Amino acid sequence: MAKKAKTIFVCQECGNESPTWMGQCICGAWNSMVEEKIVPADSKEDSRRRTTEAAKPTKLAEVGTRDYKRIDTGIDELNRVLGGGLVKGSLVLISGEPGIGKSTIIIQTAANIARSGQRVLYVSGEESDEQIKMRADRVCGQIPDNLFVLPETNLENVEIACDNIKPAFLIIDSIQTLYSDELDSAPGSVSQVRACGNKLMKIGKTGNIPIFIVAHVTKSGDLAGPKTVEHLVDCVLNFAGERDQELRILRSFKNRFGTTSEIGAFMMEEGGLAEVRDISGTFLENKTDGAEGSITAAIYEGSRPVMFEVQALVSAANVGFARRTAVGADNTRLSMLLAVLEKKAGLKLLNQDVYVNIVGGLKPEGTSIDLAVALAIYSSYKGKAADNKTLVIGEIGLTGDVRAVRFADKIIKEAARMGYERVIMPASNAKNLKDIPANCTVIGVKNLTEAIKMF
Ligand code: TYD
Ligand code: MG
């Protein structure tokens, strides 16, 4: 006999349950009530039988490991961010601002996988099949036979379509447009997104179908809906970039099948997204030689070094407090570096506005760009340009000491490849280097004062 579901509303802040929706919960939170369906539990006898049959723990030592079967997406940069391809049965959330290129990368992936002979189902709640076709004509070339589209927003219909087509790869564009019949709330609401996320997981895991789920997020990344499915999915990828620039960076924030430090770089072109193979070259393309406040820095992202330009501008503040603004770098870290520069290098920055910019839209994580940021500020303050064949890496401590960074030897190799002749780096890294490229000089520095002398 079908069980009757009951609707309740649960506060996301305190967990309080109520039979009706309330604008303000008793805990004081506003708009925190989310619709939920309660399905009565099985009879006691049922559940006892289930417990004895299914709940048999396995010895961890006896659990076999297996190689995850991965599907080649035909896009190396995407494969890399996924940890070596798309794992069968995995759920991947692709988030990004509207218009950044999520549908584009997805249709390109869909066409590549379909071309390899596997069935792909592209469900779009945002565009009609003609619109999808028009984009595919532009970016995919010859459209493969195995690529199916379904303009649909109802999840139960998507389930039926999956049963009919049995796709090897499913795409949902986007989760905010999808709704399940089981809930009365509107598509995009927290309860719908959560319910649809759960159902999609079931479809993916039972059918061993990898699923790409598109989620729109705002610039601050704080749209409540998609956050609620982040814990469900296996990978969370973020697609970012400035809309007026062509460069797009794909980064993974969560990956159950690989590292989260990999990035993928793309250019949005006339014919869709093109992979960027020489990432350092692209970032340094427009660097002006001999400009004050400009320093080349590098980080090690996942499995490769990436070089880019750090710019700083120091100028006299007009009134009141001096401004400190960082684009692409961490503001708190900038404040710390300014304090160290004042105290250890004697720079008078109290009445100076300081702006720092990581050119190209990259947001490097970690602290290995500290020394480059500090030297860029010093260069602008002193009006002294850096030598354009010098690369700077190193973390700065509160005492002004320059600390080791990871993978310095790989960064040097990349510097040599890019034609850089000098690398200023932490002394602790310099003494451990195994092979230094012939055309590269390594300058090891122990603290900020030494680095400034070498500058
Ligand atoms: P789209 O993939 O639709 O973004 P999203 O799904 O993230 O909202 O891409 C949107 C923008 O990309 C669009 O404004 C135009 C640009 N674009 C190109 O420059 N070249 C192309 O080949 C395509 C398909 C889009
Ligand atoms: Mg789209």
Q: Which helix (H) or strand (E) holds 36?
A: strand 33-38
Distance CA 437, CA 421 (A): 10
pLDDT at 258: 84
Distance from the alpha carbon of residue 444 to the mean position of ligand 2, in angstroms: 48
Query: Helix, strand or coil for residue 367?
Result: coil
Residue 218 confidence (pLDDT) above 90: no
Q: With CA atoms as reference, report the closest residue to 416 among 440, 392, 435.
A: 440
Query: Helix, strand or coil for residue 203?
Result: helix
Among all chains, which residue has been given the structure tokens 């970032």? Answer: 283
Band (pLDDT 50/70/90 cuts) for residue 44 is: low
Does the Cβ of 99 fall within 6 Å of ligand 1? yes
Beta pairing, strands 211-216 & 235-240: unpaired
Distance from the alpha carbon of residue 147 to the mean position of ligand 1, in angstroms: 20
Which residues is 381 bridged to in the sheet?
A: none
Which residues is 37 bridged to in the sheet?
A: 7
Q: Which residues surround ligand 2, an ion (CB under 5 A)?
A: 103
Band (pLDDT 50/70/90 cuts) for residue 46 is: low
Which runs of E-coded beta strand occur in 259-389? Answer: 263-269, 272-275, 294-301, 304-316, 324-327, 352-358
Cα 142 from chain centre: 30
Query: What's the pTM value of the predicted model, to 2 decimals?
Result: 0.80
Candidate from 104, 126, 139, 249 with most ligand 1 atoms within 8 A of CB, to mutate: 104
Average pLDDT score, the chain: 88
Band (pLDDT 50/70/90 cuts) for residue 321 is: confident
Distance CA 188, CA 228 (A): 11
pLDDT at 50: 63
The fraction of the chain above a pLDDT of 70, given in percent, is: 93
Residue 43 confidence (pLDDT) above 60: no
What Å distances lie between residue 31 and 26, 182, 225, 258, CA to CA?
12, 21, 13, 37
Q: Which residue has the higher pLDDT, 367 or 2?
A: 367
Distance CA 455, CA 448 (A): 10
Candidate from 131, 245, 268 with most ligand 1 atoms within 8 A of CB, to mutate: 268
DSSP state of 357: E
Distance from the alpha carbon of residue 122 to the mean position of ligand 1, in angstroms: 17
What does the buried/exposed string (b/e) look like for 281-313 if buried means 16 or more CB atoms within 10 Å of the residue's CB? ebbbeebeeeebbbbbbbbbbbeebbbbbbbbb
Does the Cβ of 136 fall within 6 Å of ligand 1? no
Does the Cβ of 103 fall within 6 Å of ligand 1? yes
**For the ranges 52-61, 86-95, 119-128, which has the lowest average pLDDT?**
52-61
Query: Helix, strand or coil for residue 116?
Result: coil
pLDDT, mean of residues 338-354: 94
Cα 103 from chain centre: 16
- Other C-beta atoms within 10 Å of 39: how many? 11
pLDDT tens-place string over residues 177-214: 999 988 888 888 888 888 899 999 999 998 899 999 99
pLDDT at 425: 95
Cα 239 from chain centre: 6
Distance from the alpha carbon of residue 173 to the mean position of ligand 2, in angstroms: 7
Distance CA 429, CA 282 (A): 27
Cα 79 from chain centre: 14
Structure tokens at 140: 């995919």
**For the ranges 84-98, 218-232, 393-407, 432-446, which has the lowest average pLDDT?**
218-232
pLDDT, mean of residues 151-176: 93
Residue 222 confidence (pLDDT) above 70: no
Beta pairing, strands 235-240 & 91-96: parallel
Among all chains, which residue has been given the structure tokens 């956050």? Answer: 227
pLDDT at 231: 86
Q: With CA atoms as reference, report the closest residue to 281 among 305, 300, 301.
A: 305
Distance from the alpha carbon of residue 124 to the mean position of ligand 1, in angstroms: 15
Residue 443 confidence (pLDDT) above 90: yes
Band (pLDDT 50/70/90 cuts) for residue 53 is: low
The fraction of the chain above a pLDDT of 90, given in percent, is: 57
Which runs of E-coded beta strand occur in 125-194? Answer: 147-151, 169-173
**For the ranges 5-19, 271-285, 344-358, 369-383, which has the lowest average pLDDT?**
5-19
pLDDT at 363: 84
Query: Helix, strand or coil for residue 175?
Result: helix
Band (pLDDT 50/70/90 cuts) for residue 169 is: very high
Residue 224 confidence (pLDDT) above 80: no
Does the Cβ of 104 fall within 6 Å of ligand 1? yes
Query: Helix, strand or coil for residue 453?
Result: helix
Band (pLDDT 50/70/90 cuts) for residue 75 is: very high
**For the ranges 215-224, 360-369, 391-400, which has the lowest average pLDDT?**
215-224
pLDDT at 115: 94
Q: Which residue has the higher pLDDT, 397 or 366?
A: 397
Distance CA 224, CA 185 (A): 15
Among all chains, which residue has been given the structure tokens 């990581």? Answer: 358
Cα 283 from chain centre: 18
pLDDT, mean of residues 70-99: 92
Distance CA 71, CA 110 (A): 11
Residue 104 confidence (pLDDT) above 70: yes
Rg (CA), the chain: 26
DSSP state of 2: P
Does the Cβ of 141 fall within 6 Å of ligand 1? no
pLDDT at 439: 87
Contact of 425 with 443, CB cutoff 8 Å: yes
pLDDT at 381: 95
Q: With CA atoms as reference, report the closest residue to 222 among 232, 230, 211, 212.
A: 230
pLDDT at 3: 56
pLDDT at 67: 62
